């Protein structure tokens, strides 16, 4: 082999080795700020390095695609933006440098799929973005300003985005109207759609992480009015609907607390989230996630109410018959092996004149006196997990 052939091959080989090394920084001992790696038990991430005694660090964090930049929010209070900052640390010359202030009055840094854009939230309904340059990042500029709320905005590889939003559902300040939604821009039009049940509930649904390939979502669930919650996971099914969310377990959901800012590393190996019962006890946690991600996929999914029957009316002496639709309950285990039953909401059996046939899902009878009954229809799976819906039956 002559030199004219050898040198280009050596250059190509060296370039390949360099690219391989860059792509494997996630496995380098300096990755994740060089912090000791967590187990299945969550631990505080980089304690003492991100915030001081008068401030907290948290919300959604973001690593650059190569793992060599780390961005996070920093504040002194939970519900004030006065001292809010986005800070970052950067691995350079063999060490992590920072934290440095990137901007103020913004939070929830989120990378575009190519790593060339950073998105931030500011006010409800506003998404800002900065572009990467050879000297760093441009000043944030408005990207989306809607007349409804956009919360936890995240783009995915398919070209659409996800957000918590109250589009077409009421006042932008009414957090109880926010749902997990998809968001897309088509020409001059924006299209936003709720992901529906079982992901969304009557309360606030807005804190989440969506996988870039949309295969799973980690979300804050069981939100109280004070935003205390637990972390759950849902998997997207082949028909693009979502499984009933299930808990990430007692090691993560260990008591009442605010849990939000979910973020999963590109290799799905670690989950980051912010947990606290107040600003002084608020920290970024991380936990080993890849095993959990796979294992929970194969545990029982609890059935849930898909479409509840509406309230019913009938008259004394008039025959009543109600066919309960099969789609009232869904079971994401795929076998729909559910045992149905009916009773009164207070735990009592149905009145003697009213019968329920679990095989045909028919509720029928002839009432002989006036009254109002609250009916409870239940479905139990083979793992003894149950779901129930309620409706009233008014007899005039």
Which single residue is written with the structure tokens 């989120």?
110
Q: Which CATH superfamily is domain 304-395 in?
A: Immunoglobulins (2.60.40.10)
pLDDT digits (tens, 9 = 90+) for 130-170: 999 999 999 999 999 988 999 999 999 999 999 999 997 77
What SS3 class is residue 185? strand
CA nearest neighbour of 106 among 77, 131, 72: 72
Separation CA 48–CA 91 (nearest Å): 18
Every domain of the chain and the residues it spans: 1-29, 31-296, 304-395
What is the rounded average pLDDT of the residues 315-322?
95
Q: What does the pLDDT read at residue 19?
A: 43
Q: Nearest-CA neighbor of 289 among 74, 42, 94?
A: 42
pLDDT score of 124: 72
Per residue in 16-38, pLDDT (tens digit) is 444 444 468 999 999 999 999 99
Q: How many CB atoms are located within 10 Å of the residue 183 CB?
A: 21
pLDDT of residue 11: 47
Per-residue pLDDT at 87 exceeds 80: yes
Measured distance CA(171)–CA(149) in Å, rounded: 9
| Whole-number Cα distances in Å, 104 to 111, 241, 283 | 18, 38, 20
Tokens at residue 329, please? 């309950």
Where b means 16+ CB within 10 Å and e means fewer, 336-345 reads eebebebebe
In this prediction, residue 62 has a pLDDT band, given cuts at 50, 70 and 90, of very high
pLDDT recorded at residue 12: 46
Q: Which residue has the higher pLDDT, 384 or 190?
A: 384
Complete DSSP assignment for 143-166: EEE-SS-EEEEEE-TTS-EEEEE-
Mean per-residue pLDDT over the chain, rounded:
92
User: What's the pLDDT score for residue 18?
Assistant: 44
Q: What is the pLDDT at residue 53?
A: 79
CATH number for 31-296 (one of 2.50.20, 3.40.30, 2.60.120, 2.120.10): it is 2.120.10
């Amino acid at each position: 082999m002559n030199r004219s052939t050898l040198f280009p091959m050596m250059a190509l080989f060296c370039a390949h080795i360099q690219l391989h090394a860059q792509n494997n920084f996630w496995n380098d001992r300096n990755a994740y700020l060089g912090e000791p790696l967590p187990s299945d038990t969550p631990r505080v991430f980089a304690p003492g390095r991100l915030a001081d005694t008068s401030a907290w660090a948290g919300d959604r964090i973001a690593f650059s695609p190569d793992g060599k930049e780390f961005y996070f929010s920093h504040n002194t209070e939970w519900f004030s933006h006065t001292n809010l900052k986005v800070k970052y640390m950067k691995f350079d010359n063999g060490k992590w440098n920072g934290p440095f202030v990137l901007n103020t009055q913004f939070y929830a840094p989120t990378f575009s799929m190519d790593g060339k854009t950073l998105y931030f939230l500011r006010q409800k309904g506003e998404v800002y973005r900065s572009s990467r340059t050879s000297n760093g990042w441009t000043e944030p500029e408005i990207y989306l300003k809607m007349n409804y709320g956009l919360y936890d905005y995240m783009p995915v590889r398919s070209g659409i985005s996800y957000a918590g939003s109250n589009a077409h559902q009421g006042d932008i300040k009414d957090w109880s109207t926010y749902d997990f939604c998809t968001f897309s821009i088509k020409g001059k039009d924006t299209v936003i759609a709720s992901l529906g049940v079982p992901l969304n509930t009557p309360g606030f649904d807005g804190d989440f992480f969506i996988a870039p390939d949309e295969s799973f979502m980690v979300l804050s669930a069981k939100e109280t009015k004070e935003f205390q919650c637990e972390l759950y996971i849902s998997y997207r099914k082949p028909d693009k609907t979502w499984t009933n969310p299930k808990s990430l377990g007692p090691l993560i959901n260990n008591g009442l607390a605010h849990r939000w800012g979910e973020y999963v590393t590109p290799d799905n190996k670690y989950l980051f989230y912010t947990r606290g019962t107040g600003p002084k006890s608020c920290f970024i946690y991380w936990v080993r996630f890849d095993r959990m991600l796979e294992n929970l996929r194969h545990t029982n999914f609890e059935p849930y109410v898909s479409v509840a029957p509406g309230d019913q009316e009938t008259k004394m002496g008039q025959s009543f018959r109600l066919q309960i639709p099969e789609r009232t309950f869904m079971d994401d285990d795929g076998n729909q092996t559910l045992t149905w039953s009916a009773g009164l909401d207070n735990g009592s059996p149905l009145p003697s004149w009213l019968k329920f046939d679990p095989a045909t899902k028919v509720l029928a009878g002839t009432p002989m006196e006036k009254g109002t009954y609250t009916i409870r229809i239940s479905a139990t799976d083979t793992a003894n997990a149950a779901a129930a819906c309620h409706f009233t039956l008014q007899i005039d």
